[in-house]
Chains A and B, each alone.
Chain A
Amino acid sequence: MQNPISVHEVTKVYGAGPTAFRALDTVNLEVERGEVMLLMGPSGSGKTTLISILGCILRPTSGSVKILGEEVTRLGEKQLPRVRLQNIGFIFQGFNLFPTLTAGENVELALDLKGQRGPAAKRRARGFLEQVGLGPKYDSFPADLSGGEKQRVAIARAVASEPQVILADEPTGALDSHSGRTVMEMLRELAHRRGRAVVVVTHDNRVLEYGDRVVQIEDGRISSGSTETAPLTNSSVISHQLSVTALTDN
């Protein structure tokens, strides 16, 4: 069976000529179903470029990207929204909720994009919010929610369209440690219990324990973890954590 995400020899170059900047350099990556992959690296290492390419919102300069077996680099601009809508859920550091919509309406919006409307959509939206423990907050506006609650609404919205791939960009970056743990537990559950492929871009070492695999990226190149396909054991996670800590200390 095809992996949900399959990246082969992907290179991304911004600009041209002497000012050209190589943000990604022959990156290879596979993300399996049921796996939480942590993508780590310093600022400017290429994390955002990579997640943008995985999310079909940025095209690589060369190489191949397959989402659920579909080669997306050859798709036209008008076809990419369909790929995102059907296959990919996004979670952002800044939550990116619609401030003028209630929590429930934010989730409904994702359903609306898939053509699900009316009372049935409302019920489903409420169901997704209940799954993240926010059923009673259906009618609350984002401004009235805590950071953790906002991110949980964002998770509910991301999974509402039932994508096989979840891409989370610094999902704990704006949260306190307790809320961050709650969010990561939810993402892990999405992977382990529901078989989603979850990619988490993070700087936050506290979330290492929730990753099945850590991929390090630096200067646009995958420096470690790219070939690991088996979920990490607790000891390997700790080992990665130690190595990351060591890198940071150095």
Chain B
Amino acid sequence: MPPLAERNLFHDRVRLAVTLTGVVFAVVLIVVQLGLFVGFSRTTTALVDKSRADLWVVSKNVPYIEQGVPFSERKLYTVRATPGVAEAQNYIVRFSRWKRDDGQEEAVQVVGVNPESTMGQAWNIVEGRREDLKVDDSVMVDRIYFQKLGVSRLGDTVEIAGRRARVVGLTQGIRTFTTSPYVFTNYRNALDYANLRDDQTMFILIKAQPGVNVEDLRRRLQAGLTDVDVLTRQRFSDMTRYYWLYTTGAGMAVLMGAALGLLVGVVVVAQTIYSSTMDHLREFGTLKAMGATNAYIYKVIMRQAAIATVIGYALGISLSILVVHESGKGGANIILPWQLGVGMLGLTVAMCVAAAFVSINKVTKVDPAMVFKQ
């Protein structure tokens, strides 16, 4: 086929720029919004997903991890005595007050964990070691929150709930969905920082013995414990994600943003391809008069849309990767998994095809007799 679609597209550079801008804008907007959604989703459940625990014991009807309610730590012994349990540890996630050197206070979430456990540890540790948390008053924070927490290096000291805390380790990229950064510390410190009694805990993390059916173990534990729920890691992760993304409306907000991006993309691309088709309507009429079938003409229009798709997607995804990379340096957590990249290509194609249909509808109705009119 002579390069009619390519020439029509590239002939008017201004229109091409508008078309590509529309596609790029839509791609970036959708990728950023969906990337935010993925980022939110992963951030909300990071503590649960990265816990390496097979089961979580939580207070009855706790809907998500930040809403944990203290319960008697004596349940830990019941859990440990249950056949099939390889390891069980108390675990704390609770809001507290962090007082900076300059006197300003920030809300933080204290994460209390046994440093010797295989479960519930901080990850992405870039300075210090997990074992450093064994020391009294030691805490580990993420670099992203240096400014917010008023610290800048290992050894900096602050107060948490009126008690001294010293930064002994740093992580990279452990974000929180709330505005309160996670502060990892050992379980003993956490009791103090979170104002809990010695006989209280917030959660119990459980590792099943190899070969034990986790669901069976969960049922047995649930049967032997009162006033608590025993949840699989996946279930508790889903509950937490559902709460933050859907109950609060945060997830819907970003999904709406993505939908808006899609709508804007379709409208802009449809408008520009339609405008191009209108400009070339006489040519399409000539093609029809020459004996071109509708299918042949659709191919020309679709080819135009496909070229706009490929170029727009390439530019858009490149820009998105840049945005994602830059966002990593700040507080926003935009994640672009490869599945999203591939899915976005499909979505861009669908967007441009949908846009092209507006033009196809117009061309279908072109009267070839128009070619005789001057």
Contact = CB atoms under 8 A, between A and B. Distances in A.
A-B interaction = yes
Interface in B246-297: 282-283, 286-293, 296
B369 A100 contact: no
B4 A100 contact: yes
A81 B7 contact: no
A52 B283 contact: no
Given A96-B282, A96-B283, A98-B4, A113 B292 contact: yes
B288 A81 contact: yes
Interface residues of A, number: 34
A105 B290 contact: no
B211 interface: no
A153 to B, nearest CB: 13
B182 to A, nearest CB: 59
A86 B2 contact: no
Counting chain A CB atoms within 10 Å of each CB, which of B4, B290, B369 scores highest? B290
A8 to B, nearest CB: 21
A94 B291 contact: no
Given A105-B3, A117-B1, A52 B369 contact: yes
Contacts, number: 77
A169 interface: yes
A103 to B, nearest CB: 11
A57 B288 contact: yes
A11 interface: no
Contacts of B296: 113
A96 to B, nearest CB: 4
Given A58-B369, A90-B371, A169-B372, A112 B2 contact: yes
A98 B373 CA distance: 16
A110 B374 contact: no
Interface size class for chain B? 20 to 34
Contacts of A55: 289
Given A100-B7, A101-B7, A109-B4, A84 B290 contact: yes
A98 B1 CA distance: 13
Contacts of B372: 48, 51-52, 92, 169
A109 B2 contact: yes
B368 interface: yes
B282 to A, nearest CB: 7
Interface in B79-136: none
B13 interface: no
Nearest to A58: B369
B11 interface: yes
B4 A90 contact: no
Contacts of A90: 286, 289-290, 371
A194 interface: no
A82 interface: yes
27 contacts: A48-B373, A52-B369, A52-B372, A57-B368, A78-B293, A81-B291, A85-B291, A88-B291, A90-B289, A93-B374, A94-B374, A96-B286, A100-B4, A100-B7, A100-B8, A101-B3, A101-B4, A101-B7, A106-B2, A109-B4, A109-B290, A110-B290, A113-B287, A113-B290, A157-B290, A161-B290, A161-B291
Interface of B: 1-4, 7-8, 11, 282-283, 286-293, 296, 367-369, 371-374
